[in-house]
Structure 1
Amino acid sequence: MSAPAPPDDAWLDAECRRLLDFGRRVAHPVGGAAWLDDDGAPDLSRPVHTWITARMVHVHALGALLGVDGCASIATATLDGLRTTLRDAEHDGWFGAVDADGQPVGTGKSCYDHAFVVLAASTATVAGLPGAEDLLAEATAVFEQRFWDEDLARVVDEWDRPWSEPVPYRGLNSTMHSVEAMLAAGDATGDTTWHRRAARLAGLVVDLAPAYDGRLPEHFGPDWSVDLDLNRDRPDDPFKPYGATVGHGLEWSRLLLHVESTLGDEAPPGLLDTSRLLFDRAVADGWHADGAPGFVYTTDWDGRPVVRQRMHWVTAEGIAAAGALHRRTGEETHARRYAEWWAYAAEHLLDRERGSWHHELDPANHPHASVWPGKPDLYHAVQATLLPRLPLAPGLARAVALSQRPSAPA
């Protein structure tokens, strides 16, 4: 059997636009972005989440930069939710979620949510959306004051609502999205301090990956001591699963290359080697790990599958990481993986009847909904259609903006 051919740019562009079209009904009546069901309709029984709102602002602002009709207005409408409904006007920062009456659902302030607000505001600023620059200024100020630990070059994971007491937990997921947000903020503002912070923060993974054979610990105590057993009793937690998360190894593999490309000669050593280590470990442990195609969600510390569901975002990040490594190294093995995983996505994940991608499959690659019911957002899938067509730096928003500029006359 011949190897699958990778999709060309025209196919990727069409898929990006198909995904964005699925998300046209995302604006929630109370403000922000609704959780979308399998058909792209707002599920108004669920809270309005800051992370979903921010991610949908991000992708529709990218759509606006691409010139996709309607995306600017959708991005502006959902952005308004970050400026009003989801913002804590009393104590600053952003709630994790609000209910249908606009009341907070829980009162913690998470680094994960705030990193996505920074990302959304950065992309919206590059897209020139109204209110975006002010939002970005506020979001970066809150992030710098509350979540960034300059001495440790680490991030605090969560605070209570009035910012009086940090939660003891520290996590690699919020760290990862903080790196992404810092790169985007530096691109949007021109303040390279954010790029340098991203590089310092990425140093944690450069140190961790070799110590754990490429399987990244996700959970830590307040002193950054590793906790390898957290949530062993509920391993499919959607945000803090037990064990090594295969998709995060792939996502970090790509992000380290963005850091390296952004910093250039100032990049710290070890980024490419760590990117390769993480990628190779994720593939060895996660891909076809139980005899069926697809990536398992998590493994234990010996690489044995724990949660065998196939999450769409893991394949999307595998596609993006393989494309980034091929761009960086020119190595054919990454081009083959890129084509193979797009073929898998086309066969199993793309929902051509109801739209978007199936967010979760069971171990036999049938649609499933134990962890992620519905199709809440478009972030990972849209980025998988864009990242392979763009350079490793600048980041997505700035790179898309530059790609749409008319060519200078010869």
Structure 2
Amino acid sequence: MTPHPAPGATAWLRQEEHSLFAFATASAVPDGFGWLDTRGAVVDDRPTETWITARMTHVFSLADLRGEPRAGRLADHGVRALASGLLHDADHGGWHDAVPGDAGSEGRDQRARKGAYPHAFVVLAAASATVAGRPGARELLTRALGVIEEHFWDEDAGALLESWDPAWTTTEDYRGANSNMHAVEAFLAAADATGDHRWTRRALRIAERLVHGVAREHGWRLPEHFTPDWQPLPDYNRDEPDHPFRPYGSTTGHLMEWSRLLVHLAVALEQAGEPVPPWLEIDARALYDHAAERGWGTDGNDGFPYTLDWADTPVVRERMHWVAAEATLAAWALDRRFGEDARAGHYDRWWRYAARHHVDTEHGGWHHELDPEGRPAGGVWSGKPDTYHAYQAVLLPQGTLAPSVAGGLLPTTTPGGNL
């Protein structure tokens, strides 16, 4: 009898890749891609949102590069929805957070704002679809980058503004690390797709401000909320600590994600023929090591609590699937870059946990949230909204370490990795 492959092994990753793709195919709706429930059906009373539509367009573009049947058609559906569907603002440009008239995830009409977070994912989706050669993707990428250039990029700060009203007249009195972190990912993907390394340099500026500046100055804990002049707000949302996008405290999963992105950034700079600042790799290691030490099992149970306070005490103890996914990817990227066996051991541990607790072998997809004992929960995230984090987690270790996920899947690359 052939032994079942271990979680994280290539055969297991490939099997889970197919499973996640099959689960995700049910998300298509006329306006883009919808929010899936625990059994993989679209939740009818939730809006079609830009961030989910963009993330799923990115996923289906990656799946197309992998040769999945139907993936190309689904990627094309997403490109069309973003380019000319109701999510796009034909009057003022850019993208609504959700289809106008729908109540958003926070219970309000999401026409009221246009956020950097969903716009970063539009760039990512368009870049990945461009690499996959999907029709209309390059035009969408050009348009999305133009919106970033005109409305979000702050050259003086070297980072993004957070959000605007629909007509681009008033910007939010807040700056956020989360949207800027995803802008790093999106800018690296855009540079990979276009060859324009202005976006690589901008990704470096964001990372230098938030990681080499703020995180390093705070003992490798990253305050994520700021005033308009980038002064940290450590008590922001103390009264709403489990906010899905702007939680109070330090978010271990984002430290892992930043660690991986710094490695991708170093690779991107090398490929662009530009100098790689030594701090990039030093900080990548420091972020990962502190996140692993402070976050894993810190409340006595396996897994990473969602958030910690500034003394590293768990605040929200629920375990999120994206944190486990990003932990495996950070361990993989650091080991791939440096060949350090200690992180290879972490990779195995994080994958065993994800396979045991997050992977839903009954209904498909991953449980997005668990209670501290590892049982499915839904206080912060209900259902299984999208497969972006999980799909990347099973895909990256099968490809090469490149500036972007899509770039690492191109046929000209050679699958690799030390794990």
Task: Tell me the TM-score normalised to structure 2 length.
Answer: 0.93
Q: Do 1:350 and 1:358's aligned partners in 2 also have CA atoms closer than 8 Å?
A: yes
Residue identity opposite 2:227 in structure 1: G
Task: Determine the C-alpha separation between the residues in 2 that align with 1:352 and 1:75.
Answer: 26
Q: How does 1:5-404 map to 2 (within 5 A)?
A: 7-29=8-30, 31-83=31-83, 84-98=85-99, 105-204=110-209, 205-264=211-270, 265-402=274-411
| Conserved 8 A contact 2:400-2:414 | no
CA contact (8 A) 2:369 2:378 kept: yes
Which amino acid in the other structure matches residue 212 of structure 1?
A: H
User: What is the rounded CA distance, in whole Å, between the counterparts of 2:361 and 2:6 in structure 1?
Assistant: 20
Q: Measure, in 1, the Cα distance between the counterparts of 2:398 and 2:27.
A: 26
Deviation at 1:145, TM superposition (A): 1.1
Percent of residue pairs identical: 51
Alignment deviations for residues 330-374 of structure 1 (CA, whole Å, 9 cap, x no partner): 111100000001011111110000001100000111000001100
- RMSD of Structure 2 on Structure 1 (CA): 1.8
Q: Aligned partners of 2:153, 2:401: CA distance in 1, in Å?
A: 25
Following TM superposition, by how much is the alpha carbon of 1:403 offset from its aligned partner in structure 2, in angstroms? Answer: 5.2
Task: Give the whole-Å Cα distance in 2 for the aligned partners of 1:17 and 1:146.
Answer: 38
**Contact preservation (8 Å) 1:209, 1:277:** no
Give how far 1:8 is off. 2.2
Is the partner of 1:310 in helix, strand or coil? strand
Does the aligned pair in 2 maintain the 1:351–1:357 contact within 8 Å?
A: yes
Q: Is residue 127–residue 137 contact of structure 2 (8 Å, CA) maintained in 1?
A: yes
CA drift at 1:102: 11
Question: Unaligned 5+ residue runs, structure 1?
Answer: none
1:392 to partner: Cα distance: 2.4
The structural deviation recorded for 1:390 is 2.6
Going from structure 1 to structure 2, the CA distance change for 1:317 and 1:101 (only over 3 Å counts) comes to: closer
Q: Deviations over 1:131-190 (max 9, x none)?
A: 111111100000111111122211101111111111110000011000000000000111
Rounded to whole Å, the distance in 2 between the matches of 1:175 and 1:105 is 20
Superposition deviation, residue 393 in structure 1: 1.6
Cα distance 1:212–1:101, how it changes in 2: closer, same or farther (>3 A)?
A: closer
Which residue identity lines up with residue 43 of structure 1 in the other structure?
V
Once the 2 structures are TM-superposed, how far is the Cα of residue 6 of structure 1 from its aligned partner?
5.7
Deviations 1:77-117 (A, max 9, x none): 12221112100011100000116879963320111010000
Moved more, 101-110 or 304-313: 101-110
Q: Tell me how far apart the structure 2 counterparts of residues 190 and 210 of structure 1 sit (CA, whole Å).
A: 31
Change over 3 Å in CA distance of 1:111–1:159 after alignment to 2: same
CA drift of 1:207 comes to 1.4
Give the conservation status (yes or no) of the 8 Å contact 2:399–2:414.
no
Judged with a 3 Å threshold, the aligned counterparts in structure 2 of structure 1 residues 334 and 206 are, in CA distance, closer, same or farther, namely: same
Supply the AA of the counterpart residue of 1:180: E
Amino acid across the alignment from 1:323: W
Does structure 1 retain, via aligned residues, the 8 Å contact 2:188–2:199?
Answer: yes
What code does the residue aligned with 1:134 have?
E
Contact 2:21 2:63 in 1 (8 A): yes
Deviation (angstroms), 1:10: 2.1
Mapped partners of 2:279, 2:414: distance in 1: 34
The amino acid that maps onto 2:194 is T
- Equivalents in 2 of 1:188, 1:285: separation in Å? 37
